[in-house]
Amino acid sequence: MQKNAPIAGQIAIVTGGSRGIGFSIARRLGRLGARVALCSRTASAAKRAGDLLRSDGIDVRGWPADVSDAKSVRQFVARVQKELGDVSVLVNNAGIGVFHSVQNIDETDWDLVVGTNLKGAFLMSREVAPQMIRRKEGHIIHIASLAGKNTFAGGAAYCASKWGLRGLAGCMAEDLRAHGIRVSTIFPGTVHTEFSPHHGKDPSRMLQPDDVAHVVEMLVLQAPQSFVSEVDLRPAQKP
């Protein structure tokens, strides 16, 4: 935790927080003073991430949740509220990618990608919004991708989910801004994680998970009378 702990005591949820970008975001928010609740699909992964972050001095809980399932989301958010309090920061980071041509992707994979990347952000945001509306403050941050602004062969499900997330975030911002709630979306380029190994590319030239976490920090520390709608994040050199 930083000495001045600018968001000390705030409750933050990070979905998909057991590894990669989500883990880095959870660590960054914890170091800023937030009490963090992270979720992962499995209890073992959530617990392992929580244990690692606690060893770094962060006040964190790691619990399982399937963001594509309304009941699971509802139970997770209720547990966070009961054990920690009302949520001030929500980072919708959980994401998955299955890459096939549109004529070859099957319905199961389509539903998995869109259900996690798009429906998951909707369900989690809908669940925490009443807490934020009641308190007249809050910040919802979506981790999208530059694939939400560009297309490529084999990316039908993934791009559709990220383009949809951009539209969801824009509408959400208009729905919630009158209640003092800020909505921001980060569009990272190529990030070096287990999720996207990008064979043949130079990892040293790729974005790192902590680069995305740094943008999250900038957003949550933005002056309260304004908010940043979108951030495009690219590596300094092409990988």
Starting from the edge strand earliest in sequence, which strands make up the sheet with 11-15, in order?
Answer: 60-64, 35-40, 11-15, 89-92, 138-143, 181-188, 230-233
Instruction: Give a yes or no: residue 133 inside a domain.
Output: yes
User: Which residues are identified as catalytic?
Assistant: 158
Instruction: Give a yes or no: residue 104 inside a domain.
Output: yes
Of the candidates 5, 30, 61, 2, the residue with the CA atom closest to the CA atom of residue 213: 30
pLDDT at 203: 73
Domains in the chain: how many in total? 1
Question: Rg of the chain over CA atoms, in angstroms?
Answer: 17
Overall average pLDDT of the 41-58 stretch:
97
pLDDT at 195: 58
Look at residue 94 and give its three-state secondary structure.
Answer: coil
Q: Tell me the CB-side half-sphere exposure of residue 234, using CA atoms within 13 A.
A: 7
pLDDT at 25: 98
Name the pTM for this structure. Answer: 0.94
pLDDT at 211: 97
Average per-residue pLDDT for the chain? 94
Instruction: Give a yes or no: residue 161 inside a domain.
Output: yes
Domain that holds residue 140: 11-233
Instruction: Give a yes or no: residue 57 inside a domain.
Output: yes
pLDDT at 224: 86
The number of helix segments (H) and strand segments (E) in the chain equals 7, 7
Instruction: Give a yes or no: residue 1 inside a domain.
Output: no
pLDDT at 11: 98
Instruction: Give one word for 5, left, alpha or beta, with left for phi > 0 and alpha for psi -120 to 50.
Output: left
- pLDDT, one tens digit per residue, over 114-152 is 999 999 999 999 999 999 999 999 999 999 999 999 999
> Tokens 């963001």 correspond to what residue?
67
Of the candidates 4, 9, 14, the residue with the CA atom closest to the CA atom of residue 35: 9
**First-residue to last-residue Cα distance in the chain:** 33
- pLDDT, one tens digit per residue, over 164-204 is 999 999 999 999 999 999 999 999 998 977 755 566 677 77
pLDDT at 5: 86
155: which DSSP letter? B
pLDDT at 111: 98
Instruction: Give a yes or no: residue 21 inside a domain.
Output: yes
Is residue 158's pLDDT more than 90?
yes
Backbone dihedral angles phi then psi of residue 100, each to the nearest 5 degrees: -145, 155
**Extended beta strands in the chain, E state:** 11-15, 35-40, 60-64, 89-92, 138-143, 181-188, 230-233
pLDDT at 236: 86
pLDDT at 2: 56
Other Cβ atoms closer than 10 A to 200: 6
**Which residues face 185 on adjacent strands?**
142, 230
pLDDT at 139: 98
Angle at 124 between CA 140 and CA 66, to 5 degrees: 135
Q: For residue 212, give the CATH number of its domain.
A: 3.40.50.720
Backbone dihedral angles phi then psi of residue 190, each to the nearest 5 degrees: -65, 120
CA distance 88 to 101: 39
* Of 238 and 23, more confident: 23
Backbone dihedral angles phi then psi of residue 107, each to the nearest 5 degrees: -65, -35
Instruction: Give a yes or no: residue 3 inside a domain.
Output: no
Instruction: Give a yes or no: residue 238 inside a domain.
Output: no
Q: What is the largest CA-CA distance in the chain?
A: 54
